[in-house]
A and B are shown apart, each in its own frame.
Chain A
């Protein structure tokens, strides 16, 4: 767990990053529990996973603004998963982190009501601007991509250690495609199928035809699911070819 700035001004947006490495290739993580964020306003969050030969690196980035000055200790986020070392369900906890918030908690009596009012207006304007950017990003994403992007509520992220790349709404599909390219196995085809179905919020009793009938996703994603499904259930000696045939559907 890390923050892009250890010292922030009251009301100033900053980013809390929770980085997770999983030995398996996954499209997203579901069992991550955020820490208690009392003393901070949450302005939005962003989740992304990058898969590689060694597994998946998933980031949860939360945009926060402090509401109370002083030194805050944010407890570690928790993540429930199977421990690869012993195969047992385990809870992993990140280290806690300290954030110093500087600034006055309320309008300064010496500065008068006007200073407090100006600060409040500034903060409201900042939040409105962030919400505006997020709405713009949302509409832009719908118009250009045909799928819902995760709203980016703050500007480009700047991390001292590991800068996060600009969010690409189709990155997760590209990750899935890479996963299949690297290992065109039935197990991966099933994993990718599962990830696609999750993204379409498919119920476990819904078939591909059900999802198509209710328009659970844009046609390109449904076509990708159909292609991956073929790879998941075809004959053993055809799996690799079927997986390779499915990859272009994920990249469309």
Chain B
């Protein structure tokens, strides 16, 4: 039986450092959720997603989101076949086990919607027919927070569909030296097929069976409710989908730690990544230059641990 940790080893063989990011990717993959990675260019966001896709095996597609992208470029379209005299369906790149949506905020809302509908429903409609997406289906999206010109911010309702939002930070000096060694010459071969889509489905089933004590469940609910309490820098709190995401992520983390039950740290570890993109910050955060991450951390730090 392949353990989930093997996926992390494969990611670490490709990406230097970024341990937190890689772990989060692994947990989200096992929890069956989609992930958005945000960070400046050149921090291996795309590389990490690609490494995950290669490691899991199955089919991998990449879409570079641009302002002129059309929904049919993602989900597919119907083409008239002159020989048969009928319409044939050409499935789009969304039909993959792992889909990398690069710079998702560079495409207009209707294109984002086409993808996000597939993420939620696990099926897309082309013409009169609906088509189920492959299982497992995992979307890893990247966003660059710096170049906001010509971007289309994803509405909260759409961001809510991502299980977690991972912030990618600059590497340390030692890590950057290691990057130079690893990528300075010929690019290393990606680690492929260390696990199969069947492994992924099995891990997901095992994660769903991980025990969550009632106190832990109440802690997850309390964390999400804390975002809805009056706060000077928060306008709107997270939805119940955040509670589900917190617990799913905690179960995945417990499974990777070879535990059959969740402890409070499993919930806490994923809280910021689950909540940061699901809350609406008040205008004061902008006018007063308050760090939104600090606001989320503050809310989390106020909730009593069971």
Determine how close the nearest CB of chain B comes to the CB of A251; give it in whole angstroms.
22
Contact among A204, A229, A235, A238 with B263 in the assembled complex (CB-CB below 8 Å)? A229
Given A205-B301, A206-B305, CB of A235 within 8 Å of CB of B211: yes
- B261 sits at the interface (CB 8 A): yes
- Digit string of B23-44 for contact with A (CB within 8 Å is 1, else 0)? 0000000000000000000000
Complex CA distance for A148 and B100, rounded to whole angstroms: 54
> In the assembled complex, which residues on chain A have CB atoms less than 8 Å from the CB atom of B213?
232-233
Determine how close the nearest CB of chain B comes to the CB of A202; give it in whole angstroms.
9
Q: By the criterion of a CB under 8 Å from any partner CB, how many residues of chain B are at the interface? A: 18
Determine how close the nearest CB of chain B comes to the CB of A236; give it in whole angstroms.
8
> In the assembled complex, which residues on chain A have CB atoms less than 8 Å from the CB atom of B263?
208, 229-230, 233
Query: CB distance A234 to B265 under 8 Å?
Result: no
Determine how close the nearest CB of chain A comes to the CB of B64; give it in whole angstroms.
38
Complex CA distance for A172 and B302, rounded to whole angstroms: 30
> In the assembled complex, which residues on chain B have CB atoms less than 8 Å from the CB atom of A235?
211, 260-261
Query: CB distance B305 to A233 under 8 Å?
Result: no
Residue of B nearest to A193 (CB): B306
- Digit string of B207-221 for contact with A (CB within 8 Å is 1, else 0)? 000010101100000
> In the assembled complex, which residues on chain B have CB atoms less than 8 Å from the CB atom of A143?
none
Q: Which of A207, A208, A233, A234 has the most CB of B within 10 A?
A: A233
For residues 177 through 234 of chain B, which have their beta carbon under 8 Å from a beta carbon of chain A?
211, 213, 215-216
For the A-B complex, the count of residue pairs with Cβ-Cβ distances under 8 Å equals: 39
- B303 sits at the interface (CB 8 A): yes
Given A233-B216, A234-B211, CB of A205 within 8 Å of CB of B305: yes
- B122 sits at the interface (CB 8 A): no
> In the assembled complex, which residues on chain A have CB atoms less than 8 Å from the CB atom of B303?
205
Complex CA distance for A234 and B260, rounded to whole angstroms: 7
> In the assembled complex, which residues on chain A have CB atoms less than 8 Å from the CB atom of B304?
204-205
Complex CA distance for A233 and B265, rounded to whole angstroms: 11
- B269 sits at the interface (CB 8 A): yes
- A209 sits at the interface (CB 8 A): yes
Query: CB distance B265 to A209 under 8 Å?
Result: yes
- Digit string of B268-300 for contact with A (CB within 8 Å is 1, else 0)? 110000000000000000000000000000000
- B262 sits at the interface (CB 8 A): yes
- B93 sits at the interface (CB 8 A): no
Determine how close the nearest CB of chain B comes to the CB of A9; give it in whole angstroms.
51
Which B residues have a C-beta under 8 Å from some C-beta of A?
211, 213, 215-216, 259-265, 268-269, 301-305
Task: Report 16 cross-chain contacts, Cβ distance below 8 Å, ordered by A residue.
Answer: A205-B301, A205-B302, A205-B304, A206-B305, A207-B264, A207-B268, A207-B305, A208-B263, A209-B269, A229-B263, A229-B264, A230-B259, A230-B263, A233-B213, A233-B264, A238-B261
Which A residues have a C-beta under 8 Å from some C-beta of B?
204-209, 229-230, 232-235, 238
Known: A208-B264, A230-B263. 17 other contacts (CB 8 A): A204-B304, A205-B301, A205-B302, A205-B304, A207-B264, A207-B265, A207-B268, A209-B265, A209-B268, A229-B264, A230-B261, A232-B213, A233-B263, A234-B211, A234-B261, A235-B211, A238-B260
